Structure 1
Amino acid sequence: MSLLEFFRAGNTHPRPASLQARFEAWRTLPQPSGTQAVHESRIVVLDVETSGLNLKKDTLIAIGAVAVEHGRIMLDDAFDIVLRQEQISSKSNILIHGIAGGKQRSGIDPAEALMQFLEYIGPDPLLAFHVAFDQTMLEKSLKMWLQTDLKKRQWIDLAYLAPALLREQAMSHRTLDDWMQLFNIHNHRRHNAVADALATAELFLCINKKCEQQGWRTLNTLGVAERQYRQILGQ
């Protein structure tokens, strides 16, 4: 099922009139050029927590993100939000991400939370480890609550960029934990969205140093390297 078919099958809520002006201000932001250098860009590294791994049935619970700007992680430019849930997730799911039922019930209204997320990312490119899951869950929620998506946004998938650069480790390093261990990156709050985003950002900076050595210095060249590796894998 395509994303379009998936969204058509779901329910949507009218975009709140109170958010319309903010939404239009975000929608009309000028998009950055992919030809700009990575070290001159603001890249938003993100991670999500959900009620499960079923793209059709499960819901978005939390979004965590941190910005990388001028080759540095901007700890004062981070985002961490829990969306209010109509039905809390299972006990086994809560044990994974640690977002208790009370916190899920008292979260931010989903439309407002997602609007805050859009305002946080602005027009900037997005980076995640295994983009497909994060992107699908975000776009499912954005379609439901704000009738929008991120299809025109540039995404960088570190799960493909890392092995594209480090071919010798490609077969033995597949998960975020594998790559974190390789670069001695510590994450004491694994499966916390903002903590995982921070660890992913640290990994990106490690990888990007090697990308620059290969001449991959712009957002577009990172995208090309990622696509070429996907082609090798037949994806």
Structure 2
Amino acid sequence: MFKNFFRNLQKKKLLNKEFEYLFDEEPKNEYVCLDCETTGLNPKKDEILSIGAVIIKENKVLMSKTFNIYVKPSDNISTQSILIHRIRPIDLENAIDPEEAIYELLKFIGSRVIVGYYIKFDIAIISRYTKKYIGIKLPNSSIEVSSMYYRTKKRRSDYEFVDLKFDTIMKELDIPLLGKHDALNDAIMTSMIFLKLKGLPAAKSTFYT
């Protein structure tokens, strides 16, 4: 009830009616898995440098339905930032303007549920851009794969530590690493984590956030 109330409130604030499709009914058994590379870890001030995404339908990752773009930053990226995301100035030579990038991303996402690893960060930083360009935060529901994984781990107490690092989850689930960590590869690997977990009863309790 409250979810629908806030969605309707969001819809009224939409500045560009072209994007009303974001509020359409979620396609059944269809998701979009995404990942952003950014200049830092503060969604209130840092910028998106690249976005990778892939469509999941039924129990398949649709490799023919991928999204991979570089986004032009407002300033030169720092050496410290490059060490984190490994995106060099040369990689951004053909980057597109943030507004165009966000519009393309929204068309790719549609009204699908968004899947990701620590996806709240990605949604928060994307929402800062969507608020600026279309007046609203990203309205899509989301699923967090680290929460799904956490629910599947048997613990002797609520205080027992569970390693939720990305590479640890990949190893535990016996999923192959796809070479370098970039936005698209991370989105594809995260989608494989999701598919491996989504059929497990314990993991299902994390749908949706």
TM-score range, shorter chain: 0.7 to 0.9
Q: CA deviation at 1:201?
A: 0.4
Q: CA deviation at 1:193?
A: 0.5
* Separation in structure 2 between the aligned mates of residue 166 and residue 194 of structure 1, nearest angstrom: 27
Q: Does 1:55 align with 2:43?
A: yes
TM-score normalised to structure 2 length: 0.81
Task: For 1:210, give the aligned amino acid.
Answer: L
Which shifted more, 66-75 or 88-97? 88-97
* Separation in structure 1 between the aligned mates of residue 49 and residue 133 of structure 2, nearest angstrom: 14
- Is the 1:110–1:145 Cα contact (8 Å) retained in structure 2? no
- Is the 2:144–2:206 Cα contact (8 Å) retained in structure 1? no
Q: CA deviation at 1:42?
A: 1.2
- Is the 2:32–2:53 Cα contact (8 Å) retained in structure 1? yes
Q: CA deviation at 1:56?
A: 2.7
Tell me what 1:187 maps to: 177
Q: CA deviation at 1:132?
A: 1.8
Q: How many residues align?
A: 193
Q: Does 1:26 align with 2:19?
A: yes
- Is the 1:129–1:158 Cα contact (8 Å) retained in structure 2? yes
Task: For 2:73, give the aligned amino acid.
Answer: Q
Q: Does 1:158 align with 2:142?
A: no
- Is the 1:88–1:104 Cα contact (8 Å) retained in structure 2? no
Tell me what 1:223 maps to: 207
Which shifted more, 169-178 or 201-210? 169-178
For 2:110, which of 115, 118, 122 is the aligned residue?
122
Q: Assess, with a 3 A threshold, how the Cα gap between structure 1 residues 215 and 102 changes in structure 2: closer, same or farther.
A: closer
Task: For 2:25, give the aligned amino acid.
Answer: P
Q: Assess, with a 3 A threshold, how the Cα gap between structure 1 residues 182 and 156 changes in structure 2: closer, same or farther.
A: same
Name structure 1 gaps, 5 residues minimum: 1-14, 228-235
Tell me what 1:10 maps to: none
Q: Assess, with a 3 A threshold, how the Cα gap between structure 1 residues 145 and 100 changes in structure 2: closer, same or farther.
A: farther
More helix by proportion, 1 or 2? 1
For 2:31, which of 18, 28, 43 is the aligned residue?
43
Task: For 1:89, give the aligned amino acid.
Answer: I
* Separation in structure 2 between the aligned mates of residue 28 and residue 132 of structure 1, nearest angstrom: 22
Q: Which runs of 4+ in 1 moved over 3 A?
A: 167-170, 188-191
* Separation in structure 2 between the aligned mates of residue 204 and residue 118 of structure 1, nearest angstrom: 21
* Separation in structure 2 between the aligned mates of residue 71 and residue 200 of structure 1, nearest angstrom: 14
Name structure 2 gaps, 5 residues minimum: 1-13
Tell me what 2:191 maps to: 201
Tell me what 1:69 maps to: 57
TM-score normalised to structure 1 length: 0.73
For 1:110, which of 98, 104, 116 is the aligned residue?
98
Task: For 1:223, give the aligned amino acid.
Answer: F
Sequence identity (%):
24
Per-residue CA deviations over 1:203-231 (Å, capped at 9, x if unaligned) read: 111101323xx694xxxx5426xx7xxxx
